[in-house]
Amino acid sequence: MSISSKLPNVGTTIFTTMSKLASDCGAINLSQGFPGFDCDPVLVELVTKHMKAGLNQYAPMSGVPILREQIAVKTKLVHSVDLNSETEVTVVSGATEAIYAAVTAVVKQGDEVILFDPAYDCYAPAIELNGGKPVYVPLETPDFSVNWDKVKAAISEKTRLIMVNTPHNPSGYVWTSEDINTLVEFVENKDILIVSDEVYEHITFDGRKHLSLLTHLVLRERTFVCGSFGKTFHVTGWKIGYCLAPPKLTEEFRKIHQFLTFSSATPLQYALADYLSDPSHYLTLPDFYQKKRDLFCEGLKNTRFEFSPAQGSFFQMVSYANLSEESDYELAVRLTKEIGVASIPISVFFSNKKDYKILRFCFAKKDSDLIAALDKLQRFEL
């Protein structure tokens, strides 16, 4: 049997590759983005409680009502935006599903979709599988901010969707109100929709506030906002996320969601609903992660890497462009094997795999692991 691949250029993701290499080498894994510490034991007790109470059958397709309601309450508290939890909030199996379902709901054969470059790895395959054409707009180094002249030039009659990601993976760039306002100018009165990946919504630093695209009326009426409890509550393995979108978009989104997964794990949803009722569980996250970012950046000062502290997300980029010609992939592999610290080469996030000699380190790890990794990096001679 010969199979003609629908994604001929896609292999195993770099996150799987580097995590496996880290495990094979016994290295400290600062590559794949997941917390290197456990979630709050209260969450585990809540899941157990709901499982023991018999909440083990299918959840409603759109999510359990109490969780949808709690997501609406959080959105009101954080962004002062009122959502109808019946018609505008859908619980799904992780932000990856939310992004795939949103793209699938609206992208048709031949539609152009604007993507910022570099971008998280699941966007382009979702677009291509739906017959869409990714149109890449390069972000500006060194901070990976948006060059709006380039966005303007990329918009055409065929543009159907723009993929936004703030705070950004891998750079940590956080959109400003100027970014939001310029996007408004470009899409107002046009038939352009937006998928906004906001999975790091609660991880911003130095007093920066995450500005959700929901907060502007022109954007709100055309945007699918994708979120993830994996990032917010240190439970990436639970794969529970959500999509916030106006009723007409939600209707189309749910048509896809109901045939992708139909619904997501019931006891996890009830546990998350209980846990969300205490806002301190997400409002304390910026401080929690800023301490880790600061610890990591302090230690990096004693290496020869160049960096600016991340504005958001739990990733820190470092440049070695002034130190070596080695490719970022080779260096990431060598650091894992030789000194036992795994990272992600960011060339994999670029459409053309351009190598800026930048590595991405995840600092969502135990302080002891960050300190041990820094010690190794400080002693490493490039």
Smallest distance from the beta carbon of 163 to ligand GLN, in angstroms? 15
Residues 6+ apart with CB under 8 A from 22: 28, 29, 31, 336, 342
Give whichever of 222 and 365 is closer to ligand GLN, judged by the CB atom.
Answer: 365
Smallest distance from the beta carbon of 19 to ligand GLN, in angstroms? 7
148 interacts with ligand GLN by CB under 6 A: no
Q: CA Rg, the chain, in Å?
A: 21
350 interacts with ligand GLN by CB under 6 A: no
In a 10 Å sphere around its CB, with 0-12 CB exposed, 13-18 middle and 19+ buried, how is residue 164 labelled? buried
Residue 210 φ/ψ, nearest 5 degrees: -75, 125
* Preceding peptide of 167 cis, ω within 30°: yes
In a 10 Å sphere around its CB, with 0-12 CB exposed, 13-18 middle and 19+ buried, how is residue 341 labelled? buried
Give whichever of 13 and 48 is closer to ligand GLN, judged by the CB atom.
Answer: 13
Give whichever of 33 and 267 is closer to ligand GLN, judged by the CB atom.
Answer: 33
Give whichever of 32 and 145 is closer to ligand GLN, judged by the CB atom.
Answer: 32
**Under rule CB under 6 A, which residues in 239-298 are in contact with ligand GLN?**
none
**Under rule CB under 6 A, which residues in 14-53 are in contact with ligand GLN?**
15, 32-33
Smallest distance from the beta carbon of 272 to ligand GLN, in angstroms? 19
Smallest distance from the beta carbon of 117 to ligand GLN, in angstroms? 16
Give whichever of 33 and 172 is closer to ligand GLN, judged by the CB atom.
Answer: 33
Smallest distance from the beta carbon of 197 to ligand GLN, in angstroms? 10
Instruction: Give CA–CA dist 232/63, Å, rounded.
Output: 18
Give whichever of 160 and 234 is closer to ligand GLN, judged by the CB atom.
Answer: 234
Question: Could you tell me the two tokens for 10?
Answer: 């896609």
Q: What separation in angstroms does the CA of 160 have from each of 55, 58, 262, 298?
A: 40, 34, 26, 43
Q: What separation in angstroms does the CA of 202 have from each of 176, 212, 282?
A: 15, 11, 7
The single residue listed with the structure tokens 């000699």 is 357
Give whichever of 179 and 197 is closer to ligand GLN, judged by the CB atom.
Answer: 197
Q: Residues touching ligand GLN: how many (CB under 6 A)?
A: 5
Smallest distance from the beta carbon of 228 to ligand GLN, in angstroms? 9
Task: Estimate to the nearest angstrom the gap between the alpha carbon of 25 and the chain centroid.
Answer: 27
347 interacts with ligand GLN by CB under 6 A: no
Give whichever of 169 and 232 is closer to ligand GLN, judged by the CB atom.
Answer: 169
Question: Could you tell me the two tokens for 59?
Answer: 């959840």
Instruction: Give CA–CA dist 154/226, Å, rounded.
Output: 24
Helix (H, G, I), strand (E, B) or coil at 296: helix
DSSP 380: -
Q: What separation in angstroms does the CA of 98 have from each of 38, 92, 158?
A: 25, 6, 23
Smallest distance from the beta carbon of 347 to ligand GLN, in angstroms? 14
Q: What is the sign, positive or negative, of the torsion defined by CA atoms of 79, 220, 146, 32? A: positive
Smallest distance from the beta carbon of 33 to ligand GLN, in angstroms? 3
Per-residue mark of binding to ligand GLN, 160-199 (x: CB under 6 A): ---------x------------------------------
Smallest distance from the beta carbon of 72 to ligand GLN, in angstroms? 26
Closest residue to ligand GLN, based on beta-carbon distance: 33
Give whichever of 32 and 311 is closer to ligand GLN, judged by the CB atom.
Answer: 32
Residues that bind ligand GLN (CB under 6 A): 13, 15, 32-33, 169
